[in-house]
Structure 1
Amino acid sequence: MNKIIFPCETAVIFRDVIYPVTFNSKKDISEGLEMAVRWFESNQTATVKAIKKSMLVSFLGLYLNYEQSMERVA
């Protein structure tokens, strides 16, 4: 799968912890990912930089890192 289909219920994964998110449009991706990063930062012992570098976002079999997900928004 190369295309993200909206609405999309999915998850952000970091260190084997899953943060569920729902994206209704492309503009929701950046907001949802920032919320996930803040949540992981408050519940894990990791910096924002480390979280963004290591997290994955699952889009129905398409696994993207933070940068790739943000590129899809642009």
Structure 2
Amino acid sequence: MLLSRHSSKGLEFDTVILGGVGELADDEDNLAQEARLLYVGMTRARRRLLVTGSGNNWFTDRLHEMSSNYCNR
């Protein structure tokens, strides 16, 4: 099933794949809204979450930092 972040609110799935995180708007006007929608998408996963993105923006930088910190434990 393919859903947008908007339409997935309130639903849960065993596996969630979020693509295009590198394309999210990270300018001052859109950062908070995009972060909320990304949170909604990420919290729909019960067991597995796969996040993909190319390019650099605020979101990919934070996810890279988080994964680096997790792997260095």
**TM-score, reference length from structure 2:** 0.35
Q: Whose helix proportion is higher, 1 or 2? A: 1
TM-score computed with the length of structure 1 as normaliser? 0.34
Greater C-alpha Rg: 2
Name the structure, 1 or 2, with higher relative contact order (CA <8 Å, separation 6+).
Answer: 2
